[in-house]
Amino acid sequence: MKTLIVTGGAGFIGSNFLHLLHASRPDWKVVNLDALTYAGNLENLISLEGWKNYEFVRGDIARREDVERAFAAARRFGGPVSVVHFAAESHVDRSIESGLPFVQTNVLGTQVLLDAARAHGVERFVHVSTDEVYGSLGDTGYFTEETPLAPNSPYSASKAASDLLVRAAVHTHGFPALVTRCSNNYGPFQFPEKLVPLMIAKASDGESLPVYGDGKNVRDWLYVVDHCEAILAVLERGRLGETYNIGGHNEYQNIAIVRRLLSELGKPESLIRYVKDRPGHDRRYAIDASKIERELGWKPRYRLEDALPLTIAWYRSRAGWLQRVRSGAYREYLARQYGG
Ligand code: NAD
Ligand code: TDX
């Protein structure tokens, strides 16, 4: 049995992780600390209702008093506490518009959380990071855990900064942290600002699909269920102080993803619109995940060919979820519940 604080559990990957815990570790005690920004949606967690080992704390990781409320809830559950840290501003395009919220949450927030976690003597702290901290690859090669950090966007720079703060806590204080760096996730509950759900939503409504630049940028696609299982493996069995890359062995050009989605949805390719490229757009990401495979026996279970149809089927069966997120109606519950 473990007591866990999960930050960002109302977001895309965090909510999938909570579903995994509910199904596979139901005796664990879990506190979800989430500020419910535009990306946080309590509707993602409806299936957890009635889980007596679960508590939601609305709070900002950058505010020590909010973090302390989460630790107080964890203490009431009892037992040694571990942390899995997902909370972040996560969208590259938003960071290009304004980097400040990214520094506030991803950098300052991570340090506040680290300080509190150290003061409370946590057992383990898993910091969820991204392959984007390594920068961009040419046509060949892979990111390993030894690849130097070379972030290119305000988002990835803020994540790299947070990784370095975690590294410093390990080195200076002997803090029991582990870092994971994964590639692009897709699957249920992803906010429709990211490529896959955005294109599903637009194609379903017969809108044009904006492909940046020449559409030949490559991402290594990872089904979110695989990612969550990898994080659980790192939490339970990873070596303290280590970094683990997590990848899907599923490299595709963006245009190939978009074409595949259109074909699965039975929509015409004439919906594709090439638009102005993202400034500083990283060309290719590809992960060497041999360390986590070797040390922890984790491997992705899903291939894109199988999991993309699963993802489309999920969005189709949850048309109401997508519609409420796109219209902003999902925030009405928030306003009723919290007055804002
Ligand atoms: P998301 O944007 O869907 O969710 C982020 C969650 O964090 C939301 O619930 C939001 O309300 C919460 N949050 C934001 N600021 C907060 C704050 N100051 N205090 C408390 N909660 C706050 O993000 P995601 O896609 O689920 O990503 C989760 C983590 O995984 C992030 O750290 C991200 O950098 C990393 N990551 C994501 C991907 C991906 O493809 N989505 C890939 C690699 C790494
Ligand atoms: O409208 C679009 N058109 C388009 O061509 C959007 C939203 C994206 N793209 C391209 C840009 C990227 O090459 O698709 C690719 C994927 O874009 P995003 O979904 O925005 O993801 P990316 O920028 O690769 O970052 C994601 O993966 C790494 C997550 O958002 C990060 O949180 C994670 O760290």
- Give distance in angstroms: CA of 133 to centre of ligand 2: 14
Would you please indicate which residues are annotated as catalytic (active-site) residues? 131-132, 155
Any ligand 2 atom below 6 A from CB of 39 = no
Mean pLDDT within 1-10: 94
Specify the DSSP element, H or E, that contains 327: helix 319-327
- Give distance in angstroms: CA of 338 to centre of ligand 2: 31
- Asked if residue 279 belongs to a domain, the reply is no
The closest-lying atom of ligand 2 relative to the alpha carbon of residue 199 is 1
- Give the CA count within 13 Å in the CB-facing half-sphere of 43: 21
pLDDT at 87 over 60: yes
- Asked if residue 150 belongs to a domain, the reply is yes
Any ligand 1 atom below 6 A from CB of 87 = yes
Q: Kindly identify the ligand whose nearest atom is closest to the C-alpha of 190.
A: 1
The pLDDT-based confidence of 339 (bands split at 50, 70, 90) is low
Backbone angles phi, psi at 64, to 5 degrees: -60, -40
What was the pLDDT predicted at 139?
95
SS3 212: strand
- Asked if residue 76 belongs to a domain, the reply is yes
Residue closest by Cα to atom 42 of ligand 1: 184
Out of 90, 106, 198, 254, mutate this one to test ligand 1's pocket (max ligand atoms within 8 Å of CB): namely: 90
Domains: count for the chain: 1
Domain range for residue 301?
3-274+284-335
The pLDDT-based confidence of 173 (bands split at 50, 70, 90) is very high
What was the pLDDT predicted at 337?
66
Mean pLDDT within 136-142: 97
The pLDDT-based confidence of 229 (bands split at 50, 70, 90) is very high
- Asked if residue 115 belongs to a domain, the reply is yes
Asked whether the CA dihedral 146, 151, 155, 160 is positive or negative, the reply is positive
Amino acid letter, 71: F
Where are the extended beta strands (E) located within the chain? 3-7, 29-34, 54-58, 81-85, 125-130, 177-182, 185-186, 209-212, 218-220, 222-223, 243-246, 251-253, 272-275
What was the pLDDT predicted at 248?
81
Question: Mean pLDDT for the chain?
Answer: 96
What was the pLDDT predicted at 331?
80
- Asked if residue 176 belongs to a domain, the reply is yes
pTM, full prediction: 0.98
> How buried is residue 81: exposed, middle or buried, by Cβ count under 10 Å (0-12/13-18/19+)?
buried
Any ligand 1 atom below 6 A from CB of 8 = yes
Any ligand 2 atom below 6 A from CB of 212 = yes
- Asked if residue 340 belongs to a domain, the reply is no
The pLDDT-based confidence of 249 (bands split at 50, 70, 90) is confident
- Give distance in angstroms: CA of 86 to centre of ligand 1: 5
d(CA 338, CA 249) in angstroms, rounded, equals 42
Q: What is the CATH number of the domain that holds 30?
A: 3.40.50.720
Instruction: For Cα atoms 202, 203, 208, give the angle at the middle one, nearest 5 degrees.
Output: 70
What was the pLDDT predicted at 329?
81
- Give distance in angstroms: CA of 46 to centre of ligand 2: 27
- Asked if residue 232 belongs to a domain, the reply is yes
What was the pLDDT predicted at 321?
93
d(CA 195, CA 212) in angstroms, rounded, equals 10
